[in-house]
Amino acid sequence: MILTITMDPSVDIAYSMNHLNMYAVNRVDNVFKTPGGKGLNVTRVLAQIGDNVQATGLLGGELGDFLEAGLDNLYIKHPFYKISGEIRNCIAILHEGKQTEILEQGPEITDTEAEEFLVHFKTLIPSEGVVVISGSLPKGISPDYYSKMVTICEDASIPVVVDCSGVVLEKVLNGPNKPTVIKPNIEELSQLLGVEVSDNTEILKSVLTDNLFKGVEWVIVSLGANGAFAKHWNKFYKVNIPKIDVVNPVGSGDSTVAGIASSLAAGKDDEELLRTANVLGMLNAQESQTGHVNLNNFEEINNQIEKEKTHFPQVEYKCCAIEDVEFPEESFDVILSSLAFHYVADYEILVKKIYRILKSGGKLVFTVEHPVFTAYGTQDWHYNEKGEILHFPVDNYYYEGKRTAAFLGEKVTKYHRTLTTYLNTLLSNGFIINQIVEPQPSENMMDIPGMQDEMRRPMMLIVSANKKVDR
């Protein structure tokens, strides 16, 4: 499990516009409001890539309630410590390829609140996993506060990733216990050392051997479009990344931290950790929403990152539309598909192709969004005037075809089919159906916000089928 810490959270508001008119009225077409703060950006990405994550920190006021509701919608556990003050708004105006930020001042924390949070934090530290401490400290908390948290993690033998800057980072590095990972960018590194540091490899090697970093297992320096430079104990790594079209760079460093934490928790080797972290950072930069990644593009970018050796050479990766995939007849023993077939317009042609490239007796296992879930199209609950769930709408079930749904703020095209169509298409093309499963939340998931409601509707369908054995 990964625990993220956000001591100065916010509600992040992103306004996207073609042009910002100073001293005039500006109207905005697209507005995104998300739970904000560096730690919560990390949290969202970890949740998207499937890690078990929960978020904590300090939270208060009506904006705090909005933030918690946003995390509930993402099914993320959030045992925050409640304070008396109101958290802040952070506004980003995206215009003409630039970004203008308006950042409110957060609340001032009392000594009692600061002390009680440390007690609260100790109760949340996982027995196995990783702790991530990200972002600035609010007013009222001493600069050595994160150093105290690192010591608590050290006492619990839990790896800790720290992503902060300035005096707070200096206090961490000069503290009695060292973090597992720090991730300054080149500007933050320069500020920390009091000298201007370039991205020259030999200069970076020299500065990272400074006694300030002694005892820190990983120092990963973000170099922006030039990738990253890292030191793991006594080994050095330079990560070169491809050029990409940047939509919104905010949160890319946090997405990189998510990749670091996820890789540490999974026990990945050095190369995989660095590649995963940098790919997630780039995926975030390609999206308009902060702390959001499109995993469909993961392999394409991952394969472009320069590396000195290749893992799993027996695996071949292809990145193309599923309709365009071609292989010789009877190429595979097993074909697996995860939540892809409902994006394909012609399901029967796809089934015929799969049958052709499977070996005799070969197995097809696939998941799709359940036909009950895709029928109406919007894929959201109906609510009453108080915002409480009334029911899940099912309509136009037998009218198959294109549906438009909203997913993470984007419009997504899917294709609705009845259960009869999914199954009979397999049968009429020579498959034998082995098993059908409608997954539901397990008992140990029922304490996760929103999961009890998922017992009211089926979201997914799993189908296992075999190609008939040639006699």
Domain annotation covers residue 26: yes
Average pLDDT over residues 190-208: 90
**Host H or E run for residue 167:** helix 166-173
Per residue in 361-396, pLDDT (tens digit) is 999 999 999 999 999 988 888 888 888 889 999 999
**Mean pLDDT taken over the chain:** 90
Residue 181: its pLDDT value, please?
Answer: 98
The helix/strand/coil state of 335 is strand
Domain annotation covers residue 323: no
Q: Alpha helices, DSSP H only, in 393-464? A: 419-428
The helix/strand/coil state of 343 is helix
Q: pLDDT tier at 320 (50, 70, 90 boundaries)?
A: low
Residue 309: its pLDDT value, please?
Answer: 33
Distance CA 183, CA 177 (A): 17
Domain annotation covers residue 324: no
* pLDDT of 315 strictly over 60: no
Per residue in 20-77, pLDDT (tens digit) is 999 999 998 888 888 889 999 999 999 999 999 999 999 999 999 999 999 999 999 9
Residue 283 sits in the same domain as residue 396: no
Residue 350 sits in the same domain as residue 297: no
Domain annotation covers residue 67: yes
Residue 345 sits in the same domain as residue 306: no
Residue 317: its pLDDT value, please?
Answer: 59
Distance CA 252, CA 390 (A): 38
Q: How large a percentage of the chain has pLDDT more than 70?
A: 96
Cα distances (angstroms) measured from residue 389 to each of 371, 384, 405, 450: 21, 7, 19, 11
Residue 308: its pLDDT value, please?
Answer: 33
The helix/strand/coil state of 185 is strand
Distance CA 97, CA 454 (A): 40
Distance CA 5, CA 9 (A): 9
Per residue in 152-184, pLDDT (tens digit) is 999 999 999 999 999 999 999 999 999 999 999
* pLDDT of 103 strictly over 50: yes
Residue 174 sits in the same domain as residue 95: yes
For the entire predicted model, the pTM comes to 0.65
Cα distances (angstroms) measured from residue 227 to each of 89, 190, 220, 236, 243: 31, 17, 10, 14, 10
Residue 244: its pLDDT value, please?
Answer: 86
Residue 231 sits in the same domain as residue 287: yes
* pLDDT of 201 strictly over 90: no
The helix/strand/coil state of 200 is coil
Pairing label, strands 130-134, 431-437: unpaired
Residue 155 sits in the same domain as residue 9: yes
Residue 268: its pLDDT value, please?
Answer: 95
Residue 94 in tokens: 């995206």
Domain annotation covers residue 384: yes
Q: In what order do the strands lie in the sheet with 218-222?
A: 81-82, 53-59, 2-6, 130-134, 160-163, 181-182, 218-222, 228-232, 235-239
Domain annotation covers residue 254: yes
Distance CA 362, CA 394 (A): 35
How many domains does the chain fold into?
2
Residue 83 sits in the same domain as residue 134: yes
Residue 341 sits in the same domain as residue 270: no
Residue 110 sits in the same domain as residue 240: yes
The single-letter code of the amino acid at 28 is: V
Q: The CATH number of the domain where 37 resides is what?
A: 3.40.1190.20
Distance CA 114, CA 321 (A): 52
Domain end marker among 252, 275, 310: 310
Per residue in 233-265, pLDDT (tens digit) is 989 999 888 888 888 788 899 999 999 999 999
The helix/strand/coil state of 81 is strand
Q: Which range of residues forms the domain containing residue 349?
A: 332-467
Average pLDDT over residues 343-351: 95
Q: pLDDT tier at 307 (50, 70, 90 boundaries)?
A: very low
Residue 301 sits in the same domain as residue 396: no
Q: pLDDT tier at 303 (50, 70, 90 boundaries)?
A: confident
Residue 407: its pLDDT value, please?
Answer: 60
* pLDDT of 204 strictly over 50: yes
Q: The CATH number of the domain where 458 resides is what?
A: 3.40.50.150
Domain annotation covers residue 123: yes
- Of the candidates 201, 264, 193, the residue with the CA atom closest to the CA atom of residue 228: 201
Residue 155 sits in the same domain as residue 264: yes
Domain annotation covers residue 148: yes
